[in-house]
A and B are shown apart, each in its own frame.
Chain A
């Protein structure tokens, strides 16, 4: 699996958008970009994933650059409960139940300030 690079930590104000960047310059054409987050003392929570098109769901938006070498996770209106470690992962795993493992890096520690 390709490696990802994320800032160690970020902060944003409550109610503002949180934009979390991820570099994956060695991503291959059939690798997906996944985002998970882990709130303190809980298991990781799936947020979103995509291949090349931008994706949006009820939690977040995922913007993938045209060359696919980087992406940004956007939390449109951050709340205090969004304080967590956010993991960007690239993997061949593209189907809900397919068989490629996700390798987690160190992630970005996001602090949402009141």
Chain B
């Protein structure tokens, strides 16, 4: 597609469950970034992928968070054993373009 697609757009999950968030980047872009934004806060960098290089995971807040990018295209951000403080909008960027995000609510 022409833009960055993220799914689902909204996700409500129970505390302790695992969630997977998906990002479809712009075709041909080798750089992919994940950020999160808590309510009323700025964007917090989580992780980025650049081609076949090892990802920069320096922003991941805990070992419950992981991400992978298969075939240099689609990326999945996984949060294990979700906590209420994980509630936020998770944004994916393909080069300079951001998606609309996934709003995660942990209840």
Contact = CB atoms under 8 A, between A and B. Distances in A.
Interface of A: 42-46, 87, 96-99, 101-107
6 contacts: A43-B4, A46-B97, A87-B43, A97-B30, A97-B31, A103-B45
A100 to B, nearest CB: 9
B48 interface: yes
8 closest A-B pairs by beta carbon, nearest first, are A99-B50, A43-B98, A104-B43, A46-B96, A44-B98, A97-B95, A43-B100, A97-B31
Interface of B: 4, 29-31, 33, 35, 42-43, 45, 48, 50-51, 53, 56, 59, 91, 93, 95-101
A26 B93 CA distance: 26
Given A44-B43, A106-B42, A107-B42, 6 more contacts: A43-B4, A46-B97, A98-B31, A98-B50, A99-B31, A102-B33
Contacts of B33: 101-102
Nearest to A103: B45
Contacts of B30: 97
A96 B42 contact: no
B53 A99 contact: yes
Contacts of B35: 104
Given A101-B48, A103-B45, A104-B42, A45 B29 contact: no
Contact of B29 (A42, A44, A97): A97
A48 to B, nearest CB: 10
A44 B45 contact: no
Which of A43, A44, A102 has most chain B Cβ within 10 Å? A43
Contacts of A104: 35, 42-43, 45
B34 to A, nearest CB: 10
Contacts of B91: 43-44
Contacts of B4: 43
A107 B41 CA distance: 10
A105 B100 CA distance: 19
Most chain B CB neighbours (cut-off 10 Å) among A96, A101, A106:
A101
B45 A101 contact: yes
